[in-house]
Chain A
Amino acid sequence: MNRPIRVLVAKPGLDGHDRGALIVAQGLRDAGMEVIYTGLRQTVAQIVSAAIDEDVDCIGLSSLSGAHMSLFPAILAELQKEGANDILVIGGGVIPPADVRVLKELGIAEIFTPGSTIEDMAAFIRSHVRKDAGTTDQAMTDLARAPQVIDHIGLAVVSMEETVRFYRDHLGLQVVHEEVIPDQQVRAVFLQIGDTHIELLESTSDQGPIARFIAKRGPGVHHVAYRVDNVSQWLERARSAGLQLIDDAPRPGGQHKLIAFVHPASAHGVLTEYCQIVKD
């Protein structure tokens, strides 16, 4: 069984601002990781030797004093020298965008600037640490709880009018929402069944994705959307399982939803959607 991910949260240099470092340390602990916090005023050598001694998978560097361009690369160089450059290094603090680009070029995996969430950091660390490290099966289950409900089933239809007649008038389902999504060239009608919806999709143009789908496969089931707690985590999980994704990142899906699609090639012929309800 694998052990939990171990993270060293470190304050290099003389900077005394540790609100962010302390919050991240606590937040990652709450996310199931083992976190060691160095405390203030650590030298480059102290940080690297602590990382090696503690056998961490990730170092999180925090700097708000403007010394990041000297200190962060020095950490990378020292790790290289010690043969520990397989440790994931991320950073955070008051760091201008131009510096972020340079630091990422140099090998800092990601920089989290003010406004970042711990959830994003945790997901990033999980998906980027050494493959032999980290996530037990249990942790993975916690991270991405199996979906509890089908959010909706999308059906590609040729004629909205006729199809609605079947679902509304024959089956007696209620139409709860209707919208046109211009950039998908689609008109959608939602009918409610329990906690789930049937989403009827009619193309508004000959060239739209739904029109192309029907031309190729005929009308019928277009996709199945599973309601998940967190689309980002599911994308990470899919990526680490080597699934082919249509969306690299969650995107807004209307009606306060965040969505992302897995390619049918990786889902045995069914276009599969992760769908997360975003609470106000």
Chain B
Amino acid sequence: MATESQEERKDQFMTSSGISVQRVYDPASIASTDSYEEQVGDPGMYPFTRGIQPTMYRGRLWTMRQYAGFGDARQTNTRFRYLLDQGQTGLSTAFDLPTQIGYDADHPFALGEVGKVGVSISSLLDMETLFEQIPLDRVSTSMTINAPAAVLLAMYIAVGEKQGASGASLSGTIQNDILKEYVARGTYIYPPQPSMRLITDIFAFCAEHAPQFNTISISGYHMREAGSTAVQEVAFTLANARAYVDAALGAGLAIDDFAPRLSFFFNAHNNFFEEVAKFRAARRIWARIMKEEYGAQSKKSWQLRFHTQTGGSTLTAQQPDNNIVRVTMQALAAVLGGTQSLHTNSRDEALALPTEESARIALRTQQIIAHESGAADTVDPLGGSYYVESLTDEIERQVKVYMDRIAAMGGAVSAVEQGYMQREIQAAAYETQRRIEHREDIVVGVNAFTIAHESEPDLLRIGPELEDAARARLRDLRAQRDQTAVDASLRRLRQAAQGDDNLLPPILEAVREYATLGEICDQLRSVFGEYRPQHW
């Protein structure tokens, strides 16, 4: 018999988190002293490694939720209605940067930014246009809004009121995760402490007035985009989650009153099995934290529900059609990892905002996985794979090491203030870049398999005329509204901010009077101050 060659392509195979990958996995790889019930458990059973529902996608498919928003409210309303017509099942709103940082479209800082990365919303008037002919009691809407989340949520509730939809009938999610803004995403306004207060105010308000709304989407996505590893993504997200839970408990809320409305948001990156294992590990760790550390009684408090978006930073500007393939693999990893909702990126996003055609292909990718691949027909099909179970265990182990370190630093708020997560992510990002430049990592079409002449795809363009129109709309609004009522509402908001009352009622009142986003945020700025980052 001929001897087989034992030569391998590399000295060492590693995941993104530096976990060493063995040649082959066998039963000894998952030797755990815990039983299957303790360590893995059936779908729908604690610790939910295999999924949070017994039937998963056999019962209902994940929500196909494509993040969209650009230009003015009218344009985005048209895109929303197009996506709903195409079979999308939930809305996801991208706001432009001035909106996300609490500036009206006519603020000097908004110059050049209006409508660029999302829709521009300066007042309730814009919000009414955004959801025109979309019944808010029948869609679920996710809003990527953080520092001014309370204001946009108030606007959403106010639009619902005008449509005749009660707070109880509204469903959706606000991102509302300020800690990761300091770490990775950058759309902060106020310093950490008052920002945490705004968040717990929202928890308390929604528990009573909008009980179906997910009050926060604790996000690892952006930290992964900033360059973290899979392990760091889970560790930092869950450490931040702990900080929100602690803040809410500190504000006097009962764990089972708000924990079921916590939701999560993760990235689906390239390393397929590591990603699947990451989602499974995150569910198990969170279930154990909630049950064992916080003593939550409700099963819903133990369940980590999450949205997934495929990894934007994995998309290449070179040979952009290759991105369709990357997105397909990433989306499949999210589905095999048991996501509750999914956004698939469009092929052209390393070049510009997606065109309608690109956005359609991205949605079709999900539909093909859902309806043609068979991947959705049984629950957790990779469960029991020696490799995937072993990776799940190893990710859990490494995540705990990070979380213990952050706990020892005094928790996530303190770790963020000390720049700990920022530095860890920066180091990982630099290492990734180094590996690519030295071709230790291959990026197809970028540092290997390149072509000399790239064809130029058609790209979506947002014109500057939009900014003028937005300024004109604001001028008209300010002329037509009841200024005395606006001023009075802003005064009451300021008083509330100086005290301890929940800020949502005065914000809602100001929104109803058509006070603008910028005016409301300015009141809070004058009381809370603004966050100034240090550089590490």
Contact = CB atoms under 8 A, between A and B. Distances in A.
Interface string B339-365: 000000000011111000000000000
Chain B, interface SS category: loop
A127 interface: no
Interface residues of A, number: 35
B318 A115 contact: yes
A34 interface: no
Interface stretch (A92-100, A129-137, A220-228): A92-100
Contacts of A23: 227, 426, 429-430, 433
A280 interface: yes
A167 interface: no
Given A114-B316, A115-B318, A279-B439, A15 B433 contact: no
A17 B186 contact: yes
B462 interface: yes
B181 A16 contact: yes
A13 B186 contact: no
Interface stretch (B24-32, B55-63, B112-120): B112-120
B162 interface: no
A27 B433 contact: yes
A170 B426 CA distance: 60
A17 B351 CA distance: 15
A23 B211 CA distance: 42
Interface in B450-493: 456, 459, 461-462, 464
Given A16-B186, A23-B429, A26-B426, A69 B316 contact: no
Residue of B97, B112, B113, B225 with most partner-chain A CB within 10 A = B112
A65 B97 contact: yes
B96 to A, nearest CB: 8
B49 interface: no
Contacts of B103: 14
A27 B432 CA distance: 12
A96 B352 contact: yes
A94 B317 CA distance: 9
B318 A66 contact: no
Given A96-B351, A96-B352, A67 B116 contact: yes
Of the listed residues A26, A97, A115, the one surrounded by the most CB atoms of chain B closer than 10 A to its CB is A115
Contacts, number: 109
B139 interface: no
Contacts of A113: 317, 350-351
B98 A14 contact: yes
A87 B225 CA distance: 32
Interface string A128-158: 0000000000000000000000000000000
B101 interface: yes
B135 interface: no
B82 interface: no
Contact of B437 (A14, A19, A40, A118): A118
A68 to B, nearest CB: 8
Contacts of B110: 14
Contact of A65 (B113, B439, B456, B464): B113
Interface in B303-342: 313, 315-318
Given A22-B429, A118-B433, A118-B437, A94 B227 contact: no
A66 B101 contact: no
A196 interface: no
B527 interface: no
Interface string A13-33: 111111100110011000000
A18 B184 CA distance: 8
Nearest to B313: A19
A78 interface: no
A14 B113 contact: yes
B111 interface: yes
B23 interface: no
A115 B446 contact: yes
A280 B185 CA distance: 35
B443 interface: yes
A70 interface: yes
B426 A22 contact: yes
A40 B430 contact: no
A15 B350 contact: no
Interface string A97-122: 11000000000000001110111000
Contacts of B533: 39-40
Contacts of A96: 351-352, 459, 461
Contacts of A66: 113, 116-117, 352-353, 462
Interface of A: 13-19, 22-23, 26-27, 37, 39-41, 43, 65-67, 69-71, 74, 94, 96-98, 113-115, 117-119, 279-280
Given A113-B351, A115-B443, A115-B446, 10 more contacts: A14-B187, A15-B186, A17-B225, A18-B226, A19-B429, A67-B111, A69-B464, A94-B317, A96-B459, A97-B456
19 contacts: A14-B109, A14-B113, A14-B187, A15-B97, A16-B187, A19-B225, A22-B426, A40-B186, A66-B116, A66-B462, A67-B111, A71-B112, A94-B349, A96-B351, A96-B461, A113-B317, A114-B315, A117-B437, A279-B438
- Top 9 A-B pairs, shortest CB-CB distance: A16-B186, A70-B112, A66-B116, A14-B97, A67-B112, A115-B446, A114-B317, A19-B226, A67-B113
